[in-house]
Amino acid sequence: MANPILEFTPPPRLLLGPGPSMVHSRVLRAMATPLLGHLDPTFLQLMDDVQQLLRNVFRTANRFTIAVSGTGSAGMEAALVNLIEPGDPVVVGVNGLFGARMAAIVERCGGKLFRVEAPWGKIIEPDNILKTLSQSGPMKIVALVHAETSTGVSQPLEEIGTLCRDHGCLLVVDTVTSLGGLPVEVDGWGIDACYSATQKCLSCPPGLAPLTLSERALTVIRNRKTPCQSWYLDLSLLADYWTEGKRAYHHTAPISMLYALREALRLVEEEGLAARFARHRLNSAALMAGLTALGLSPLARNGPRLPSLNCVTLPAHVQDAPVRASLLQEFGIEIGGGLGALQGKVWRIGLMGESSTRSNVLTLLSSLEKIFLRRGWIARAGIALEAASQLYLSQSQGTHTEAPAPTHA
Ligand SMILES: *Cc1c(COP(=O)(O)O)cnc(C)c1O
């Protein structure tokens, strides 16, 4: 007889990769509470709560604000397959893996793809988008990744919305690695379709994709000539389940995931967006100070960087795989390696949501120091910790005069 399969007990892990991030015990507890039916009036109230809390993080008044069943890629696919019909011209900014994924979906739904490219590690220049809009005839959509998780680049969006209005096209934005970790202003920036995922800066397990649509986007969906290619992600059908007062069955909602998301969003609200963004910025700056002391440098050297995803280039003598293996096996810490052409050349360190704490930054740096020292890559221990501590100290001195302290640790 084969050995019985025992109850699964995961080893303790500090999740500092590109997602999933650490999950607060209140979120785990919410997931373990008893199920309700997905049409139970109490559950419908919970859906209303989730929608309102999502509008608050997206900074939008959009009535159509939901959580798509599926991970971030389902949110991406839902936004694109509902807005694009065969032959529609679509601009996609490609400067990393997730821009490339958007482009692949556009082609699969028969869209006419216009790529605006930039090297990995650089932003998409707004001027290049403008050039394409002015030279290539009417466009239906411009699609961009706000937080490119493959490179750590933060895409400036403030001017793009106006550009899109001027040229009569919709703006679609991927905020998977930014929502809840750095400012996202759906209404303020004129974004028409914006999707995210639960397992990055919202610190909830993977399984839902928050999505919000403007009235302009809803009108485009209502006026489609062909039915959406996906039945499961057809937003005109999903609208009947997510519209207050209607709540008609489409597919069974992932009940426990919605419990979790509600609690994760309550935590975001308790901390406050401004305090949360400041925490992400501070911990990222301290981590970068420590990594720089170890000889690593940010991939996005001269441009805007993400506080949620810290992508650093490895010097030639630093080996990727053995260090990440030691971190995981000896220290229980997960960080991410490079994707595509960056494989073996960079590390991607996530400080997202619950993962973004001072103690996590110091724990990671001290573990890296031990590994680097053992391999003879640094002369003494303490250099990274000292650099990070210095940064924390200078920031706390600089913020004495600021508004009241946040209530959340
Ligand atoms: C993680 C990620 C996705 C995909 O999300 P999944 O949850 O893995 O499906 C899409 N876009 C960006 C920018 C991401 O970081």
What residues are paired with 313 via a beta bridge?
A: 297, 346
- Rounded alpha-carbon distances, angstroms, from residue 79 to 99, 105, 217: 14, 10, 9
Which residue lies with its CA nearest to atom 15 of ligand 1? 149
Q: What is the pLDDT of residue 315?
A: 97
Which residue lies with its CA nearest to atom 8 of ligand 1? 72
- Fold observed for domain 273-396: Aspartate Aminotransferase, domain 1 (3.90.1150)
Q: What is the pLDDT of residue 85?
A: 98
Alpha-carbon span 114 to 91, nearest angstrom: 5
Which residue lies with its CA nearest to atom 3 of ligand 1? 72
CB of 17 closer than 6 A to ligand 1? Answer: no
Q: What is the pLDDT of residue 399?
A: 53
Centroid of ligand 1 to alpha carbon of 80 (angstroms):
14
Where are the domain boundaries for CATH 3.90.1150.10 in the chain?
273-396
Residues in the chain: 409
Please identify, by atom number, the ligand 1 atom nearest to the C-alpha of residue 177: 15
Over the chain (409 residues), the average pLDDT of each successive run of 10 is: 89 98 98 96 96 98 98 98 98 98 97 98 97 95 98 96 96 98 98 98 98 98 96 95 87 97 98 98 98 97 94 97 98 97 97 98 98 96 97 80 47
Question: CB-based contacts of 112: which residues, under 8 Å, 6+ apart?
Answer: 87, 88, 89, 90
Where are the domain boundaries for CATH 3.40.640.10 in the chain?
25-269
CB crowding 254-263: b at 16 or more within 10 Å, else e: bbbbbbbbbb
Quickly list DSSP for 102-154: HHHHHHHTT-EEEEEE--TTSPPPHHHHHHHHHHS---SEEEEESEETTTTEE
Of 177, 201, 306, the residue with max ligand 1 atoms within 8 A of its CB, to mutate for a pocket test, comes to 177
Of 15, 68, 69, 71, the residue with max ligand 1 atoms within 8 A of its CB, to mutate for a pocket test, comes to 71
Closest by CA position to 102, among listed 162, 159, 155, 62: 155
Whole-model pTM: value is 0.96
Q: Domain 25-269 class?
A: alpha beta
Q: What is the pLDDT of residue 55?
A: 98
Question: Residues 195-254: pLDDT tens digits?
Answer: 999 999 999 999 999 999 999 999 999 999 999 999 999 999 999 999 877 888 999 999
Centroid of ligand 1 to alpha carbon of 174 (angstroms):
8
Q: What is the pLDDT of residue 362?
A: 98
Q: What is the pLDDT of residue 87?
A: 97
- Rounded alpha-carbon distances, angstroms, from residue 211 to 175, 182, 409: 10, 17, 28
